[in-house]
């Protein structure tokens, strides 16, 4: 199947999720997902499914990535923090929608592979690091937007502290293998509004480095 057809198929899955924001659709169109999955899964790169990557992790299914990005209400002047770089696919898409994205991954190997992809695609507004997302990125805080790609039993206080006033965080909450819910937090002054979005299944946000 040609790349154009593949991309069109991917965009259709995202539209089916109810995402019609042209900027978001264009960002997905611009990032070739096959570069973010292992070669053995190249054939499935544009299917709406999660794909295994190194270190026993997965790249989330594109429609879920799109749902999360849409829920994040990201703007082009915003500074974004992402926890769980993984393959870097979501990072790459987000980089086209914000001013700068800071991404933390606990596996050095995944982070290094992701950086190679960012360089190959000439994505210059991404800062990434190998580290523990539970500790946030204090030197760069506050952030207008925070997106977490692994599930927590409870929201890390440091990430709430990292949110700018008016900021939004999208984060899956719940134990692994059990029902998890994707939440959206909005910071208004000293208050946090929380909204349940959808049920999800994520791997856990693991404490510490491997």
In the complex, which residues of this chain contact ligand SAH (CB under 6 A)?
A: 55, 57-60, 83-84, 86-87, 89-90, 104-107, 110, 132-134, 149-150, 203, 205-206
Nearer to ligand SAH among residue 6 and residue 129 (C-beta): 129
> Nearest CA to 67 among 168, 200, 203, 191?
200
- Tell the residue number behind the tokens 């999955």, with chain if given: 37
- Measured at the alpha carbon of residue 90, what is the angle toward residues 134 and 50, in degrees to the nearest 5? 95
> Looking only at Cα atoms, what is the longest distance across the chain?
52
Give me the least distance between CB of 90 and ligand SAH, in Å please.
4
Report in angstroms how near the CB of residue 190 gets to ligand SAH at its nearest.
Answer: 26
Q: Which is nearer to ligand SAH, 168 or 170 (CB)?
A: 170
| Cβ at position 165, least distance to ligand SAH in Å | 25
Which residue, among 147, 194, 151, has the nearest Cα to 172 in the 3D structure?
Answer: 151
CB 181 within 8 A of CB 200: yes
Residue 19 Cβ vs ligand SAH, minimum distance, rounded to whole Å: 16
Residue 25 or 203: which CB sits closer to ligand SAH?
203
State yes or no: is 60 an active-site residue. Answer: yes
- Residue 11 C-beta: closest distance to ligand SAH, Å: 17
- The Cα–Cα gap between 182 and 170 comes to 7
Q: Which is nearer to ligand SAH, 110 or 169 (CB)?
A: 110
Which one, 153 or 188, has the nearer CB to ligand SAH?
153
Q: Would you state the structure tokens that stand for residue 49, as one six-digit string?
A: 């499914």
Tell me which of 26, 42, 60, 103 is the catalytic residue.
60
Q: Helices 22-30 & 3-16, crossing angle to 10 degrees? A: 150
DSSP assignment of 152-173 equals: BSS--HHHHHHEEEEEEEEEEE
Angle 48-37-62 from CA coordinates, rounded to 5° = 25
> Which residues are catalytically annotated?
60
């Amino acid at each position: 199947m040609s790349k154009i057809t593949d991309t069109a198929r991917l965009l259709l899955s995202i539209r089916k999720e109810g995402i019609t924001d042209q900027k978001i659709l264009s960002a997905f169109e611009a990032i070739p997902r096959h570069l973010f999955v292992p070669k053995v899964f190249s054939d499935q790169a544009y299917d709406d499914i999660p794909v295994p990557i190194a270190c026993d992790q997965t790249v989330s299914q594109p429609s879920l990535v799109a749902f999360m990005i849409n829920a994040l209400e990201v703007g082009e002047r915003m500074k974004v923090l992402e926890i769980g770089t993984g393959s870097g696919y979501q990072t790459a898409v987000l980089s086209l929608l914000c001013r700068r994205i800071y991404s933390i991954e606990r596996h050095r190997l995944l982070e290094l592979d992701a950086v190679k992809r960012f360089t190959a695609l000439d994505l210059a507004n991404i800062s990434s690091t190998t580290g523990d997302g539970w500790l946030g990125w204090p030197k760069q805080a506050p952030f207008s937007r925070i997106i977490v790609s692994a599930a927590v039993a409870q929201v890390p206080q440091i990430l709430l502290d990292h949110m700018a006033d008016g900021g939004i965080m999208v984060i899956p909450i719940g134990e692994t293998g059990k029902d998890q819910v994707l939440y959206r937090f909005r910071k208004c002054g000293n208050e946090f509004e929380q909204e349940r979005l959808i049920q999800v299944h994520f791997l856990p946000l693991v404490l510490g480095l491997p």
